[in-house]
Structure 1
Amino acid sequence: MLIDRYSRTIDYLRISVTDRCDLRCTYCMPKGFTEFEKPKHWLSFTEIERVVRQFAAMGTHHFRLTGGEPLLRKNIVELVERLKSIEGVHELSLSTNATQLEHYAHDLKRAGLDRINVSLDSLTRQGVAKITGFDAKDKVLAGLAAAKDAGFKHIKINMVPMQGINENEIDAVVKFCMQNHFILRLIELMPMGATAQNHQYINLQPIITRLSQELDLIPSARQYGKGPAQYWENAEGTFSMGYITPMSQHFCQSCNRVRLTVDGTLYMCLGQEQKYPLAPLLKAEVDDHTLQQAIRNAINLKPLQHDFVEQPLKLIRIMSSTGG
């Protein structure tokens, strides 16, 4: 098993397959941003597969493909097939903005993808355009419909409430998820880079209290994947909501994940700068023992916690460059 200095078991790897995206969400990527990693520096599918194989051999069984927008990576279905064939990969999921999902949902399901998370911060055309830079509402809804048709269960909708932008849409998104049997997850905005720091995050604690009372929700023991969300559900078990609260009630003491960027850098914490470059070792084709030892060395760099609250302007690195 991979265990860090603070006795936390690392059993979840998030893999960014591209830092590019067809949307420009205001809290993720600065307007006009062009400093993307050059494709020649991206990890190949063979290199990604090799990293996953080593993590799986050391007890990490849960993996997620992220971006940027992962469905923009050419032949992404092939990568899903290859990763799912690795012994020890118990669950493979994907985070997407769903603009391309209509075209990929059935192929991804056939390739073995287990679960899908979709970012949806607004249900109005004006709201979607304001947050993402484009009126992508129809594409996103078509993608969600295709995912349901393909047979994906427990589809999660991720919403980041922001003060003065979409906080008045929370109830509408709740209703939408209840009607469509989606799992809604509300996520507190993290101050990653200047673009996110320009927004005011919303403390979810009062919202948790209000919605639990209005919808008769109770804390749930269910877990949908290996992420940090705490879930609530109705008495019938027909609707679930999750909350991710890195600002108002952080969960660093139980953090079980690290992130691999598109250029092969392992980041130990979303809110800190500790990192370990694996690409040079992969390019040099080191043996499995050397690569596994490098991963263990990286895990030993994992910090105790982030400093988002104490130092909200500390982190310059933007979300899209790290992987969602």
Structure 2
Amino acid sequence: MAQQFEDKFCRKFSYLRLSVTDVCNFKCSYCLPNGYRPDGIKSRFLSLSEIERVVRVFADCGTSKVRITGGEPSMRKDFVDIIHSVAAIPRISKVATTTNGYRMEKQVEQWRNAGLTDINVSLDSLEPRMFRLITGENKFRQVMNGIEKAFEVGFAKVKVNVVLMKEHNAKELPLFLEWIKTRPIQLRFIELMQTGDMDEFFNKQHVSGASILNHLIANGWILENRSQNDGPAQVYSHPDYRGEIGLIMPYSKDFCSSCNRLRVSALGKLHMCLFGDYGVELRDLLQSDEQRDALVKRIRAQLNNKSVSHFLQDGHTGMTPHLASIGG
């Protein structure tokens, strides 16, 4: 194995977030409120062979976890093949996906059989009407059925992502806590993040994750230890609950100090950060195995440019127009 990818701040990168499409069929108010809009250029997303090459290089340089993202990744007709190909690469021990869940009930067993080890479902409300208001889709029951189906086919735990919004779901905390009392769900409350297209929405809807944290600590929730290739969530458990709570608070002090993630977009660009100012083209080096060394060299060179922070706390949103554009 080659030397692990590492930046000038001695952060090691064991986790790759790989977008396979920026297309999504939901119209979530904090991401794509007007639905997916093609840029007028017919996008050609990474092919299966290109995906295999980029993941193989990351695996050779210390990556052990790959999260397949979108848009909505299951909209790719070859999604099962992508899972299978990534899972078959040596040294990749975790293959995860983040999905809006609308196809899970019918497909999650295929995903698991192909090698998917971890699953995150975006579910921003437990109230069907609020779910429809946030997502623009009347698919609450399909998503809930999909979560139950994931348990039926053998997933020991399901992570559920909830983006906090002041006027939408901020009052649902008791309902969510009751839901996970008897279910092995890690409920991940994600602080709303400001992107280029969503300044006004952010100012109106942002809820600090600190308010949730204070509630948890006051009610006996205990912080768990973090594993090497875990994502950014601070995870809390409680002796009276089967489920867990994860808090993702990008505006908190030193949020970026433990960063272990790099991102590759569906069009083959390397992004140092979700809120970075640019992407670095990798696709020209994904056309043959003979370009492997050049690909490693280009990635290592760009790691020298990775910033110490995303500077969200200073009002910097980078080039990211919306979260679906490079895989959230």
Question: Which of these residues, 163, 170, 174, is aligned with residue 171 of structure 1?
Answer: 174
The corresponding residue for 1:310 is 314
The corresponding residue for 2:190 is 187
Work out whether 1:201 is the aligned partner of 2:216.
no
Question: Which of these residues, 45, 48, 52, is aligned with residue 49 of structure 1?
Answer: 52
Work out whether 1:17 is the aligned partner of 2:13.
no
> Which letter does structure 2 place at the counterpart of 1:201?
H
Residues of 2 paired with 1:264 and 1:307: CA distance?
25
Count residues in correspondence: 323
Q: Shift of the alpha carbon at 1:223?
A: 4.5
The corresponding residue for 1:128 is 131
The corresponding residue for 1:295 is 299
Work out whether 1:79 is the aligned partner of 2:82.
yes
Task: Give me the TM-score of the superposition, normalised by structure 2.
Answer: 0.92
Q: Sort the Cα spacing of 1:160 and 1:32 in 2 relative to 1 into closer, same or farther, 3 A.
A: closer
The corresponding residue for 2:259 is 255
1:275–1:298 Cα contact (<8 Å) kept: no
1:197–1:313 Cα contact (<8 Å) kept: no
Moved over 6 A (4+): none
RMSD, aligned CA:
2.0
Q: Deviations over 1:163-183 (max 9, x none)?
A: 111101122112112232211
Q: Sort the Cα spacing of 1:196 and 1:86 in 2 relative to 1 into closer, same or farther, 3 A.
A: farther
Q: Sort the Cα spacing of 1:208 and 1:88 in 2 relative to 1 into closer, same or farther, 3 A.
A: same
> Which letter does structure 2 place at the counterpart of 1:263?
L
> Which letter does structure 2 place at the counterpart of 1:117?
N
Work out whether 1:119 is the aligned partner of 2:122.
yes
2:151–2:157 Cα contact (<8 Å) kept: no
Residues of 1 paired with 2:108 and 2:303: CA distance?
34
1:191–1:313 Cα contact (<8 Å) kept: yes
Q: Deviations over 1:19-40 (max 9, x none)?
A: 0111011111141541358665
The corresponding residue for 1:212 is 217
2:251–2:313 Cα contact (<8 Å) kept: yes
Work out whether 1:31 is the aligned partner of 2:19.
no
Unaligned runs of 5+ in 1: none
The corresponding residue for 1:5 is 8
Identity of aligned residues (%): 34
Q: Deviations over 1:72-108 (max 9, x none)?
A: 1112111111111111111110101100111211111
Q: Deviations over 1:205-229 (max 9, x none)?
A: 1221213323x21122254952011
The corresponding residue for 2:325 is 321
Q: Deviations over 1:24-72 (max 9, x none)?
A: 1111114154135866521101101100000000111111000000111
Mean CA deviation greater in 4-13 or 198-207: 198-207
1:275–1:301 Cα contact (<8 Å) kept: no
The corresponding residue for 2:225 is 221
Question: Which of these residues, 97, 101, 104, is aligned with residue 101 of structure 1?
Answer: 104
